[in-house]
Amino acid sequence: MFTSLSDRLTSTFKNLRTKGRLSEADIDATIREIRRALLDADVAVAVVREFAANVRERALGAEVSGALNPAEQVVKIVNAELVAILGGEARTVRFAKNPPTVIMLAGLQGAGKTTLAGKLAHDLRSKGHTPLLVAADLQRPNAVNQLSVVAERAGVPVFAPHPGVAGEDEVPTGDPVAVARDGVDTARSREHDVVIIDTAGRLGVDAELMQQAADIRDAVTPDEVLFVIDAMIGQDAVLTAQAFLDGVDFTGVVLTKLDGDARGGAALSVAKVTGRPIMFASTGEKLTDFEVFHPDRMASRILDMGDVLTLIEQAERAFDADEAEKMAAKVASGQDFTLADFLVQMQQMKKMGSMKKMLGMLPGMGQMREALDNFDEREVDRIEAIIRSMTPGERENPRIINGSRRARIAKGSGVRTSDVNQLLERFSGAQKMMRQMNKGGGGGMPAMPGMGNLPGMGGKKAKGRTQAPVRKKGKSGNPAKRAEQERAAAARAAGERPPSAPGSAFGGGLGSPTKAEASGDVELPPGLDKLLGR
């Protein structure tokens, strides 16, 4: 969502870093570019004006003039001000001392309240709570049925005593206030510790909508009133949020459709204008595409500094700890990383969600925007299909996969033989890297291929002298000669004498003498020992 804003800000700071000292004119030019970028991103004018004034005041002060790297200091200031307008600190649900905790959802029709109710219930259930969904939206066609389907997918019960309306022409007959009140009583009797009430919305703000929301709030006295807003509606988000704040007085904001391609001004405006924190964000259609909103992490994403903490949290939820321990023990024992292991890792990565989202959380990925946009999510499925088309023996030992086997695997997985070849080549490289990492153990980081023994990477250095670099002889282009070199290298690694080169000058090898020859324990032909003085 923040792609355009992120690109503009990154470009501005890139130009700033080329200057060793910043003048007032440089800072004014930078503030001007930041102001334009924020206005183009649909951020409220009042928020932009205050943001630019704060950045300029801090940038012209001693905070930047005395810094060793003024440009980096300006980036730090912008980051801090972004965190401030996004709400400062993350906040989650405040649970009631005496259960159940009542959470009421409010917002316009189409903002995604019903889907969000299921996502929030699923998240709370995964943390050990026992939520109950209450269907108090009786005016939108099939809203009750939709909530029942979402509740079933989330694995939580739903309280829906009234079916609601089934079509546009039907007139609502149920009482949403009574449904909400009875839902809280039912949750208390069934010992549910959280109640999530899905309320009706309108296409626009009107008196009837506000009155109904206020009546439900007065009837159930919720612990949290969450205002659900579509992050793609731009400047209108601020007006809608202000209207709901005056009419219902919500305690927190939830942003939906944050995975869209809109400019994202709502996210940067609503918290500052209303004074209420953004608590959660919906980032996709799946029940798991739901996360706590962290202002500092969002600011890092906007400034292309990545969001590694969220990536780690997602990995911890998706990856099986037992499988990770088994894999670590296998690598430590010197066993080879196999395609079966690779398949397990791929399946666990798929649980984390979209690969594009994961890659986008890495620092500096904004510079690879085109490559990310062109990344095909189906590539992961193709790789999984190729590996599943192999026999268990082929997964354990890919070296046995010859031409006919590759053709069979390609046919079984619905891909070309070249795709199978590419996968095996990439896997061979990954396998070599795993072996190198295993050999590089000891005191420090493993020695990575092509990096040598850098400081702290396990290589020991003799005291008082500098070791001369070891020149490595290149491999021959002749296949027969190269094979001979590889056999000799393998023999040296095993501590054996290299085999004699066939066709050498005197009909024998020129290698170093064996231990028996060096010690004189060689059986000589009769009479030859006298000539040698033995």
The answer to whether the annotation marks 234 as part of a ligand binding site is: no
Region for residue 37 given its phi and psi (left: phi exceeds 0; alpha: psi -120 to 50; beta: otherwise): alpha
- Contact between 294 and 283 under an 8 Å Cβ cutoff? The reply is no
Q: Exposed, middle or buried, 297 (CB in 10 Å: 0-12/13-18/19+)? A: buried
The answer to whether the annotation marks 256 as part of a ligand binding site is: yes
The answer to whether the annotation marks 52 as part of a ligand binding site is: no
The answer to whether the annotation marks 114 as part of a ligand binding site is: yes
Q: Which amino acid is at 378?
A: R
The answer to whether the annotation marks 201 as part of a ligand binding site is: yes
The answer to whether the annotation marks 107 as part of a ligand binding site is: yes
Q: Which amino acid is at 227?
A: F
The answer to whether the annotation marks 92 as part of a ligand binding site is: no
The answer to whether the annotation marks 218 as part of a ligand binding site is: no
- Contact between 174 and 198 under an 8 Å Cβ cutoff? The reply is no
Residue keyed to tokens 């509740």: 151
The answer to whether the annotation marks 260 as part of a ligand binding site is: no
The answer to whether the annotation marks 112 as part of a ligand binding site is: yes
The answer to whether the annotation marks 393 as part of a ligand binding site is: no
C-alpha distances out from residue 3 to 184, 257, 297, 359, Å: 42, 15, 15, 14
- Contact between 214 and 239 under an 8 Å Cβ cutoff? The reply is no
What DSSP string runs through 382-413?
HHHHHHHTS-HHHHH-GGG--HHHHHHHHHHH
The answer to whether the annotation marks 257 as part of a ligand binding site is: yes
Closest by CA to 282, choosing from 143, 164, 135, 107, is: 107
The answer to whether the annotation marks 109 as part of a ligand binding site is: yes
C-alpha distances out from residue 481 to 476, 478, 484, 503, Å: 6, 5, 5, 12
Tell me the CB-side half-sphere exposure of residue 312, using CA atoms within 13 A: 5
For the annotated binding site, the residues are: 107-114, 198-202, 256-259
For the annotated binding site for GTP, the residues are: 107-114, 198-202, 256-259
